[in-house]
């Protein structure tokens, strides 16, 4: 387990290094780029709060993808589930009237149920029909993207801009530190990660989940209902992704608009992989990506480098993570020599 | 049905072209046992570099060559990392797609000075077929850019390649059982590397058809999931060239139809219609595809036994 985290750290370092080479190639200064990136994310208390704010949805979607990977399925539909969760939370926040703590909680729970159903569909199709969950969830993503955009330009439109009306004040997740955007959703995300860590490491269910992902045939032979585990994992995965969207709407944006997610659902893939499918690893990986994202603003402003560069760096990191087998072989060879 | 006339069929051929290229590309790598979710990124990268090539040389053909070369590079990368580094093919595909997104976005801003889209560049010429022009419905088939004709001509070619050449037989065999193929003396690793590179070339032609054929510029994220639709078409089409032709034609038709509907119902937000091709393919997938059997070795890295 520990060695895996070292591989992630190596991948991050290599990604940043190759990113620097790429910056030099395009005539930019990598040192000033990285310095502004770090300063922009961690340089001031208000910057740190912003980084934490951006960490929040990434922890949720990272956990969502982790659930799938643990059972050996790939829920690439997190983005669509997140959007559907967000629009569900917005609708409940706008049209249902309830007192404060119940209102956001209900919105969150119903959004998670919707997401769970959306995760269940590809899970069932995979188990019963052999349909590849990757293709099904990708198609579902596009349906969700265009459907929610249609809603905010059509039936749910409020005012001139393509967005919904604001949610009621009673539905808002409160801000933790006044003067920043950091809301209680962050606390919830960390809490969930810790709970999942305990459940996965200590419960029979967590063991069965891992076993299903590790070797479905042996698990089936050993009496684990692997089909059920796959469907459960997809359902929970969908629910977590939808919760990410709901928390963003209830805690941060307070209304739904099409571009509120810069692809947090897809980012969940990276978060889960860099975090090595471990809930605590997910928290750190989410912070890493949030650092890149938050720092990107100053990179563009001060270093004069297009903030799109962070996408290149992220992709490079993931490429290095995806070939971790190589590090493994390298470590083993070294081990044999000594 | 509403909004369907000769022009819808003409547009269907245009819309099918990028999907058909990409799906035939995916067919090459998946038949060789390498899952190719990176079609999207290959198309996007080629769409961008095609425009860059055309912008700097003024020649759309040079543009297509540059675009195809860039996508071929990504195809090679997919094959190389899948086998040499034994990475998870889906994860590598996702990484390539992210790389394409970042690279095109970053270079767009760095080369052209602003985000969003490039200025218009010289596009591929339209080619008229004299005999067809005299026929009443000739306009459906004539006057397209060259890549449209090439895409459809590729279908019988790929069919021949796959089922009537030794190379095609080997390609299919390594997708079903690489170990047996290996024991019979087939160079599995080299063939898989070739097949992913070919898939890059074909997906690249699809990207170029989009940016230099259908349009004459590059816009951020302009492929909008076409690579994934091509992948779905590959699955519906059961990994065969003729199957792929039919399914991509269906997707192309739905896409052309929704564009016609968009202009007919201006009061309904366009997103509703844009959603239809994806929704239709999802429904088709759920309703009509009973049990599918992909190439057996797909997704697994090949390790040559000593």
pLDDT higher than 60, residue A336 = no
Instruction: Note the residue count of chain A.
Output: 338
Per-window interface: A 75-134 vs B, CB < 8 A: 76, 125, 129-132, 134
Q: What's the rounded Cα separation, in Å, for the pair A159 and B204?
A: 42
Task: Specify the DSSP element, H or E, that contains A189.
Answer: helix A185-202
Residue B57 above 60 pLDDT? yes
Q: Do residues A66 and A250 touch, judged by C-beta distance below 8 A?
A: no
Complex ipTM, two decimals?
0.84
- Is the pLDDT assigned to residue A337 strictly greater than 60? no
In a domain, B187, yes or no: yes
- The residue-averaged pLDDT of B197-225 equals 94
Per the structure, the complete domain to which residue B222 belongs is given by 6-126+143-288
A21 Cβ under 8 Å from any chain B Cβ: no
CATH number of the structural domain spanning residue B165: 1.10.3470
Phi, psi at A175, each rounded to 5°: -75, 140
What is the pLDDT at residue B200?
A: 97
By Cβ distance, the residue of B81, B269, B271 closest to A322 is B81
Distance separating alpha carbons of residues B203 and B42, to the nearest angstrom: 6
List CB contacts (< 8 A) between B286 and chain A: 125, 131
Least confident span in A172-176, B79-83, B168-172, B296-300 = B296-300
- Alpha-helix runs per DSSP H in chain B: 6-31, 39-57, 60-83, 89-112, 130-133, 146-164, 166-176, 178-183, 188-208, 226-236, 241-264, 270-288
Q: Is residue B301 domain-resident?
A: no
Asked if the structure places residue B50 within a domain, the reply is: yes
pTM of the model: 0.88
CB contact under 8 A, B85 and A326: yes
Q: What pLDDT score was predicted for residue A334?
A: 60
> What does the pLDDT average to over A118-124?
96
Minimal-distance CA residue of chain A relative to B116: A308
Query: What average pLDDT is seen over chain A?
Result: 90
Average pLDDT of span B63-76: 97
Higher local confidence (pLDDT), A269 or A241: A241
| Chain B CB contacts of A129 below 8 Å | 289-292
Q: What is the pLDDT of residue A338?
A: 40
Take residue A192 and report the two structure tokens written for it: 């969930």
* CA gap B159, B169 in Å, rounded: 11
**B138 in any annotated domain:** no
Q: Is B296 among the domain residues?
A: no
Does some domain include residue B295? no
B273-291 confidence digits (pLDDT tens): 999 888 988 888 888 777 6
Burial of B12 (0-12, 13-18, 19+ CB in 10 A): buried
User: Hey, are the CB atoms on A143 and B88 less than 8 Å from each other?
Assistant: no
Find which of A123, A213, A311 to mutate to test the B interface (most B CBs within 10 Å of its CB): A311
How many interchain CB pairs under 8 A, A with B? 137
Q: What is the pLDDT of residues A211-260, one digit of tens each?
A: 888 878 888 888 888 889 999 999 999 999 999 999 999 999 999 998 89
Could you give the dihedral angle defined by the CA atoms of residues B242, B248, B251 and B256, in that order, rounded to the nearest 10 degrees?
-110
Q: Please count the structural domains in chain B.
A: 1
Where would I find the beta strands (DSSP E) of A78-130? none
Is B34 domain-assigned?
Answer: yes
pLDDT, mean of residues B150-170: 95
Interface contact B99-A316, CB threshold 8 A:
yes
| In-domain check, residue B184 | yes
A10 touches chain B (CB under 8 A): no
Is A73's Cβ below 8 Å from some Cβ in B? no
């Amino acid at each position: 387990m520990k060695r895996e985290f070292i591989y992630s750290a190596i991948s991050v370092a290599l990604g940043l290094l190759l990113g620097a080479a790429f910056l030099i190639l395009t005539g930019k200064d990598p040192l000033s780029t990285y310095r502004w990136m770090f300063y922009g994310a961690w340089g001031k208390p208000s910057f740190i709060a912003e980084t934490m704010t951006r960490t929040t949805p990434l922890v949720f979607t990272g956990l969502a993808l982790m659930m799938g990977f643990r059972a050996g399925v790939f829920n690439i539909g997190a983005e669509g589930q997140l959007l559907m969760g967000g629009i569900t939370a917005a609708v409940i926040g706008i049209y249902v009237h309830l007192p404060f703590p119940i209102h956001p909680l209900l919105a969150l729970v119903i959004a998670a149920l919707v997401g769970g159903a959306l995760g269940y569909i590809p899970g069932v199709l995979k188990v019963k029909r052999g349909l590849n969950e990757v293709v099904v969830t990708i198609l579902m993503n596009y349906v969700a993207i265009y459907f929610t955009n249609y809603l905010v330009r059509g039936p749910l439109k409020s005012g001139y801009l393509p967005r919904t009306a604001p949610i009621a004040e009673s539905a808002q997740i409160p801000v933790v530190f006044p003067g920043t955007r950091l809301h209680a959703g962050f606390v919830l995300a960390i809490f969930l990660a810790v709970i999942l860590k305990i459940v996965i490491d200590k419960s029979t269910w967590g063991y069965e989940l891992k076993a299903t992902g590790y070797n479905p045939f042996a698990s089936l032979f050993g009496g684990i209902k692997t089909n059920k585990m796959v469907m459960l994992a997809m359902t929970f995965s969908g629910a977590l992704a939808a919760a990410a969207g709901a928390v963003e709407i209830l805690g941060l944006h307070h209304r739904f608009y099409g571009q509120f997610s810069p692809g947090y659902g897809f980012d969940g893939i990276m978060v889960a992989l860099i975090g090595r499918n471990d809930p605590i690893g997910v928290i750190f990986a989410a912070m890493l990506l949030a650092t890149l994202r938050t720092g990107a603003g100053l990179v563009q402003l001060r270093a004069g480098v297009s903030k799109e560069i962070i996408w290149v760096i992220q992709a490079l990191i993931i490429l290095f993570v995806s070939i971790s087998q190589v590090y493994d072989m390298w470590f083993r060879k070294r081990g044999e020599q000594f | 049905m509403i909004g369907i006339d000769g022009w819808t069929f003409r547009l269907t051929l245009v819309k099918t072209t990028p999907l058909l290229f990409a799906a035939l590309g995916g067919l090459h790598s998946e038949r060789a046992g390498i899952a190719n979710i990176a079609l999207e990124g290959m198309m996007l990268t080629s769409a961008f570099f095609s425009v860059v090539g055309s912008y700097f040389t003024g020649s759309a053909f040079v543009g297509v060559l540059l675009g195809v070369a860039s996508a071929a590079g990504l195809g090679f990368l997919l094959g190389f990392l899948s086998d040499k580094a034994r990475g998870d093919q889906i994860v590598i595909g996702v990484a390539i797609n992210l790389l394409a997104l970042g690279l095109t976005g970053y270079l767009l801003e760095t080369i052209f000075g602003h985000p969003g889209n490039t200025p218009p560049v010289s596009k591929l010429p339209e080619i008229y077929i004299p005999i067809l022009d005299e026929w009443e419905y000739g306009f459906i088939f004539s006057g397209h850019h060259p890549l449209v004709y090439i895409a459809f001509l590729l279908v019988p070619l790929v069919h021949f390649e796959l089922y009537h050449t030794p190379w095609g037989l080997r390609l299919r065999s390594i997708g079903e059982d690489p170990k047996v193929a290996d024991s019979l003396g087939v160079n599995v690793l080299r063939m898989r590397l070739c097949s992913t590179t070919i898939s890059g070339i074909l997906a690249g032609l699809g990207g170029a058809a989009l940016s230099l054929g259908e349009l004459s510029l590059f816009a951020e994220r302009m492929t909008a999931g076409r690579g994934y639709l091509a992948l779905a078409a590959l699955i519906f089409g059961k990994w065969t060239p003729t199957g792929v032709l039919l399914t991509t034609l269906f997707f192309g038709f739905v896409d052309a139809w929704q564009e016609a509907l968009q202009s007919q119902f201006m009061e309904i937000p366009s997103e509703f219609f844009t959603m239809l091709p994806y929704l239709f393919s999802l429904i088709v997938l759920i309703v009509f595809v009973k049990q599918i059997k992909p190439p057996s070795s797909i997704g697994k890295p090949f390790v040559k036994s000593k």
